[in-house]
Amino acid sequence: MSAVLREKIRAVPDFPKKGILFRDITPLLADGPSLHAMVELFVDRYRDRSVQKVVAIESRGYLIGAPLAYALGAGLVIVRKPGKLPSAVDRETYALEYGTDALEMHTDALAPGEQVVVVDDLLATGGTAAAAGKLVARRGARVLEYAFLVELLALEGRTRLAGSEVCAALAY
């Protein structure tokens, strides 16, 4: 199945800046059978794991997280950049190569003891996923696993998620 998904991911050189090889998932999303195969791959992995919430990271993580949560009968929690959520939030600031960024999640989105999967389209350096995991932990919920469609192995993002289970459908 991963070969079917891999052939639909476009490599775009020098985007968003020179020297970056961007992995564009939009052709996969535009192809119905490939989109279905991607969602089913994750559904099969989590069907029997008692996932109560899927925590999806802005913005492409929503494209995987929403259908996954629906198929599992789980709730969907969205994690966003600062200032985008309308109610009380918890914020996690994290380091980037040059500067910092932050993510926010509603304070009432998770209950203590809930089991969650944190989902995003891509694992690069792991900073964003680790920040989302910290937000989950502060609410008293438990990350069962971090799930990604694509992992960029050279950036060693798994090291920032050390001690956690990580699933990547494709690795480059």
Q: What is the DSSP letter of 155?
A: G
Q: Are strands 99-106 and 115-123 parallel, antiparallel or unpaired?
A: unpaired
Which residues fall within 8 angstroms of residue 146, CB to CB, at 6 or more apart?
A: 117, 118, 119, 120, 123, 129, 133, 161, 164, 165, 166, 167
- pLDDT at position 154 is 95
Please answer whether residues 50 and 72 qualify as being in contact, where contact means their C-beta atoms are separated by less than 8 angstroms. Answer: no
- pLDDT at position 98 is 77
Please answer whether residues 77 and 56 qualify as being in contact, where contact means their C-beta atoms are separated by less than 8 angstroms. Answer: yes
- pLDDT at position 93 is 97
- pLDDT at position 96 is 79
CATH architecture of 48-171: 3-Layer(aba) Sandwich (3.40)
Question: Which helix H or strand E contains 79, and what residues bound it?
Answer: strand 75-79
Domain ranges across the chain: 48-171
Catalytic positions: 60, 97
CA distance 41 to 36: 9
Per residue of the chain (172 residues), what is the pLDDT tens digit? 788 899 999 999 999 999 999 999 999 999 999 999 999 999 999 999 999 999 999 999 999 999 999 999 999 999 999 999 999 999 999 987 778 999 999 999 999 999 999 999 999 999 999 999 999 999 999 999 999 999 999 999 999 999 999 999 999 9
- pLDDT at position 99 is 82
- pLDDT at position 2 is 84
Taken in order 25, 155, 137, 170, the sign of the CA dihedral is positive
- ∠ CA 137-75-125 to the nearest 5 degrees? 45
